[in-house]
Amino acid sequence: MALSRRFLNLIMDNRFPESKSLRCIDLTHHCNLFNATPPNFSNGSKSTIIRVENRIQLPSPIFNFAAGFGEATRAGFGEDWKMDCLPFLDRRVICADQSGRCFLFEADRSRVVMLPRLHGPKQMPISIFIPCPEEESGEFDGSSFYIMDKMSRAGVSGTNQFEAFVYCHYRGSRIMKSWTCQLLPPPPYVYERSYLGRWLEIRSYVVVDYGSKICISVKGVGTYCMDRRSLTWSHLGKWMLPFIGKVEYVPEIKLWVGICSSTHELAAADLSSMDSQPQLVGTCKEFEPPEEWKQCREPQLVNLGSGKFCVTRFFRNQAPKGDSDDGEFIGRNITVLTGVEVMQSACHGNGNGNGSSGKVELQMIPHRSRWYGGDTIGTVC
């Protein structure tokens, strides 16, 4: 089954919190998450729950890296060293340490590129990469990489909440190009008197309107949208998007797919109009864990292209000793990767022999699950 992306990037937590490693899983060899053809749902159901299969054998690390000395106390985050890794493009990730220093790791080229320093360190950074327009000639020409702080203190750290790396001409040069870091206007709520001093959390974020707008839903505040051209914000309402984390657009079905905020299931919604709170049009519970596996972190979603996704779920094996076949992993973390295909299909006829009714329904089809236990997988991107 063809995939737009061949590799998954895994950020592994090493012995110390400031030390991590990057591993790249080849989805065609190390971890095949998709069947050659979608499973046959003879009972007409839209989705089914699949059981976990083989354990993943991880490849060797491509990069090992650690945070350096910094000035984290300037932002009031304490003196702890830390390194955050953000998905960029294919086998590339951007890492930022506790003082705002940033690096681009390119696994496909085996090199590290130093990026400009952020205007302010981020406590819990989240990111959106918007690639260059088709008419641009260079690899990154016109591309932008947006970094937001998921947790920010209104009126304090909130003023440095939103930044962007933009690939453009270097200091007026007509030939040389490089990444520059631009501080963007924060959402208006960081200046509202009723929120000053409060810690506020971005629960979900998405690109809409053909890449021209970025929307965020903030817990207890509502949903805001920024126009990328004018850099102006608008308040869409007190309502929240029905997702957590990043929401992905699937052009094949003209819908947005993400993790449902209420059930943590994979879900889809139409975000083409944001006049009111969007409603879910389909959900899928793609994996049923054993009873002794307890969710310990929020799931993550990776868009593999062509309507295919990898859903990552994080568990803690709390089985009593002696009651599980996997005694080696009792009391340890377990990560499960599941391949899911989202597609549209014609509804069946009403039994009058005319075949399809002409209507289209959404299908969210789980394929295969693979698991890994032991060392902690921090991020899958």
Q: Does position 354 have pLDDT exceeding 60, yes or no?
A: no
Q: Does position 30 have pLDDT exceeding 70, yes or no?
A: yes
Please report whether residue 274 resides in a domain.
Answer: yes
Q: Does position 326 have pLDDT exceeding 90, yes or no?
A: no
- Residues 285-323 pLDDT 10s: 999 888 889 999 999 999 999 999 999 999 998 877 665
Write the CATH number for 322. 2.120.10
Please report whether residue 255 resides in a domain.
Answer: yes
User: pTM, whole model, 2 decimals?
Assistant: 0.88
Please report whether residue 1 resides in a domain.
Answer: no
* CA diameter of the chain: 73
- Helix, strand, or coil (residue 9): strand
Q: Does position 139 have pLDDT exceeding 50, yes or no?
A: yes
Q: Does position 63 have pLDDT exceeding 80, yes or no?
A: yes
- The CA distance from 125 to 244, in Å, is 15
Please report whether residue 2 resides in a domain.
Answer: no
Question: 216 in the Ramachandran plot: left (φ > 0), alpha (ψ -120 to 50) or beta?
Answer: beta
Residue 57 CB burial class (10 angstroms; 0-12, 13-18, ≥19): exposed
pLDDT on residue 376: 83
Q: Mean pLDDT across the stretch 213-224?
A: 97
- Residues 360-370 pLDDT 10s: 689 999 998 99
pLDDT on residue 44: 38
Q: Which two tokens stand for residue 202?
A: 């971005």
Give CA torsion, residues 125, 147, 200, 222, to 10 deg. Answer: -130
- Residues 66-100 pLDDT 10s: 776 655 444 444 456 788 899 998 889 999 988 89
pLDDT on residue 3: 60
Please report whether residue 14 resides in a domain.
Answer: yes
Residue span of the structural domain in which 270 resides:
7-380
- For the chain, the domain total comes to 1
pLDDT on residue 43: 38
Query: If you average pLDDT over every residue of the chain, what do you get?
Result: 84
Which distant-in-sequence residues (6+ apart) come within 8 Å of 275 by Cβ?
none
Please report whether residue 270 resides in a domain.
Answer: yes
pLDDT on residue 47: 43
Produce one character per residue of 231-261: b if its CB has 16 or more CB atoms within 10 Å, e if not. Answer: eebeebeeebbbbbbbbbbbeebebbbbbbb
Q: Which two tokens stand for residue 279?
A: 């409603």
Q: 287 - beta bridge partners?
A: 50
Q: Mean pLDDT across the stretch 112-126?
A: 92
